[in-house]
Structure 1
Amino acid sequence: MQIIDLIEGDEALLEFTYVTNPGAAWSMFSDYPQYLTLLAVFALVAMYWFRKQLELHLIPQQIMFGLICGGICGNLSDRLFREPAEVVDFIDTFIPLINYDYPIFNIADSGIFVGAISYVIWGAFESKREKGKETLE
């Protein structure tokens, strides 16, 4: 893992630190980058193949899946076009309130995270709304 601090400060909330990561989030599976590349390709193909079954008719759902797909494509492009096949992470955040240095990540990771969490929350509210409709009938 290569680390280069670009902007740093004393207990800064945000720093830009160049780090390469062969693994997934928090360097998980860093010994298997080829499998992560295949998993990313498989995920994109599956999302495209099952897009009609996912019923992404509403704009918010399309945005959520766009964030996920965009994040996957961003990290996948790093893996395919960089030598060695590693993802570049650079956003380093520190939360002084709880004295926690969050693992370094990139914009693609943010897209995947925000899209996935938003979709889970959307699904929970949608499920409650559907149950509410069933009880009214």
Structure 2
Amino acid sequence: MLALLFAVAVGGLGLDILTKVIVVAELEGEPPVEVLGGLLYLDVLRNPGAAFSLATGLTWLLSLLAIVVVGVIVWLAPKLRSPGWAVGLGLVLGGACGNLVDRIFRAPGPLEGHVVDFLSILAPGGAVWPVFNIADSCIVVGGVLIVLLSLMGRDYDGTVHRKKKAAEKNS
């Protein structure tokens, strides 16, 4: 499961970095670009906060939180026995690393860098939904997958928990 977890994480991180490099080089300072008939707009913004621009001004704290998340996933990785959990945690790991790279290496400085967001749904500038990036998408999709697996009774170590009523009917 380690190979799957890290392959997904590296894939998500790579795609996030690649898209950010391209949009900063080609679209920063330009008007938003309409894609898919207005379902999506490419609109480059620098976000000093978290999702929905929460915690603006606490970029250093968000950086430390991302480092803790990465550490917990790496610590948990050897215990993984579930492919679904490996994919979910790989997505969260790749997304956390993607935004952490921005926070470390982008202006205004280490652990205070602003994250590059560029995907805006239905309208430019986040008028309908906050502007986000590939890393954010990885974190959300990975988190949803982990929640679904948990609700289905599937643990990271491969164990499956059944509800009592279902087990009693089968007795």
1:119 aligns with 2:150: no
With normalisation by structure 2, the TM-score equals 0.67
Whole-angstrom CA distance in 2 between matches of 1:4 and 1:17: 8
More strand by share: 1
Structure 2 unaligned regions, length at least 5: 1-27, 155-159
With normalisation by structure 1, the TM-score equals 0.82
1:20 aligns with 2:46: yes
Q: RMSD of the TM alignment (CA)?
A: 2.5
1:106 aligns with 2:133: yes
Q: Identity of paired residues, percent?
A: 34
Structure 1 unaligned regions, length at least 5: none
Are the equivalent residues in 2 in contact too, given 1:3–1:19 (CA < 8 A)? Answer: no
| 1:63-91 alpha-carbon deviations (Å, 9 max, x no partner) | 11100000000000011010120100000
More helix by share: 2
Aligned residue for 1:82? 106
1:38 aligns with 2:64: yes
Aligned residue for 1:130? 162
- The alpha-carbon deviation at position 129 of structure 1 amounts to 5.1
Q: What is the total number of aligned residue pairs between the two structures?
A: 129
